[in-house]
Structure 1
Amino acid sequence: MAQLPLDLQFISAADRDDFIIGESNRLATSWIDRWPDWPGQYRILNLVGPAASGKSHLAAIWRARSGATYLSSLARGAETGDGQDFVLDDVAVGDSWDEEALFHLVNRTAHDGGSLLVLSRTPVSRMSWTLADLASRFRAVTVATLEPPDDVLLRQLLEKYFADRQLAISLPVLDYMVSRMERSFLAVQTIAAAMDRRSLAERRNLTLPLARDIMTEFADGTHARQQALPTGSQPTGSKMEDS
């Protein structure tokens, strides 16, 4: 099954200058910035990390720069267009990725002077490919692993979300949220969007009592994934009552 792209609207995913870098994604980001100077005959970069680790964001940045074709599966004999650069999303051994088709795409990309950005949850070099030639190609790829975001990056992401909407939030409130939230980009969106909506609906500032309410509800499973509100949802300079 193809990995669902995260709709983190508070991060302009295709805008490199607006992308927040932390220790968890620094190496992967440096490889994206280094393109097209990727090493090896086949110029393949494998971004490895769990769901919601930021792979899709970096892929969007690279696609905006390279014009790469996006593929979430590849069947034998499938048309892949005239491009020479490709993003292969959520690659794994199984029916979604035909090994013969992958092998020919790797060879074609190398022949055309293109590049492959492969997103996966485990390194493709360690997967149990049946086709020996494909396994050999994948053993030669460059691997960059994305770790879950650390506290510093989580705080920066939350700060950006609220700053983009002209919403003031204090460091103690941010620290409280970061110390209790799951280490993932998805958690940032869910919690920040819930705080945003609640503050607008109840005309409350982003205070510690509000954060406690949201974090309690999040821990109880009350909040599912929520879309980020668009920037400018709260007029600049508007007065909200304290909680």
Structure 2
Amino acid sequence: MKQLPLPIRLDQRATFAAFVAGENGMLVEALKEMLNPASKPEPQVYLWSGGPNGKSHLLQSLCQAASEAGTRAIYLPLGEMAESDFGILENLERYAIVCLDDVHRVCGLPEWAEALFHLINRLRQSGSRLAMSANGPPDALDSALPDLASRLSWGPVYRIQPLRDGDLVDFVVRRSRRQGVVIPRDVVEYLIRFTRRDVTEMIEWVDLLDREALARQRRVTRPFIRELVASSGGRRRQATRQGH
């Protein structure tokens, strides 16, 4: 019998409370319901997005919430494991909740695709809950096993909707407060004019502002933002807003 995979260290900042749902409220609720078997949750949830809109954050949030509740859960970033032994997918039915990130990274590999197919079957039989993420819907993935798409679609499929500007501002303000850096709302609104409007880039900017404000003993203001944008070269992007 193969040994169970070692749990991946989770980002402690990845929590449901830290996620600004925007138009993704139904998805967040579906994941939270997995924490309470008595509520008869969906046994499987699949979420996808073509960009970095919080897939990993949500799966890690589910795992951390499960652990805090005393529920055995595991998070596996398959994109980082594609070069590893596909046998890592064995015995996962011992967990109550299994979170598989970036399944599209292994679907095109024959041995991985078959292992994933059988894992989904075993989890359904054992009563474990499964949450998966990918960069596209199940029927759009390049799979080495034709029947895999039907298994990936056994539960509800959610597309993660990108945050609107107002929701993105809320996210940055909330994130920065948790990290102990004060970024006024009007300064955040100014910042997003120079960045891609996605969660991953905004997290990088909050981390950068946190480091630079501390190193330079500066408050985060519009002039400070301008200095960092000017010195960050390729990170700067002109504000190109759809429909404006």
Settle same-fold status: TM greater than 0.5. yes
Partner residue, 1:184:
198
Letter in 1 for 2:73: A
1:186 positional shift: 2.0
The answer as to 2:75 corresponding to 1:61 is: no
Name segments (4+ residues, structure 1) moved above 6 Å: none
- Paired residues in the alignment total 211
1:111 positional shift: 0.8
Question: Which secondary structure does the structure 2 equivalent of 1:98 belong to?
Answer: helix
Structure 1: segments with no counterpart, 5+ residues? 224-243
Partner residue, 1:38:
41
Are residues 199 and 31 of structure 1, via their aligned partners in 2, closer, same or farther at CA, if it must alter by over 3 Å? same
Equivalent-residue separation in structure 2 for 1:70 and 1:197 (angstroms): 29
Equivalent-residue separation in structure 1 for 2:53 and 2:154 (angstroms): 23
Q: Which structure features the higher share of helix residues?
A: 2
User: What does 1:1-243 align with in structure 2 at a 5 Å threshold?
Assistant: 12-13=13-14, 15-16=15-16, 18-35=17-34, 36=37, 37-39=40-42, 43-64=43-64, 65=66, 66-71=71-76, 72=78, 73=81, 75=86, 79-81=90-92, 82-92=94-104, 93-95=107-109, 98-218=112-232, 220-221=233-234
Are residues 20 and 76 of structure 1, via their aligned partners in 2, closer, same or farther at CA, if it must alter by over 3 Å? closer
TM-score, L = length of structure 2: 0.73
Equivalent-residue separation in structure 1 for 2:11 and 2:165 (angstroms): 18
Root-mean-square deviation over aligned CA pairs: 3.0
Cα pair 2:100 2:133 within 8 Å, conserved: yes
Partner residue, 2:239:
none
Deviations 1:58-105 (Å, cap 9, x if unpaired)? 111211315323332572685334324321221122228622212211
**What is the aligned-residue identity percentage?**
25
Question: Which secondary structure does the structure 2 equivalent of 1:69 belong to?
Answer: strand
Equivalent-residue separation in structure 2 for 1:165 and 1:159 (angstroms): 10
1:117 positional shift: 0.8
Structure 2: segments with no counterpart, 5+ residues? 1-7, 237-244
Are residues 97 and 69 of structure 1, via their aligned partners in 2, closer, same or farther at CA, if it must alter by over 3 Å? farther
Are residues 125 and 116 of structure 1, via their aligned partners in 2, closer, same or farther at CA, if it must alter by over 3 Å? farther
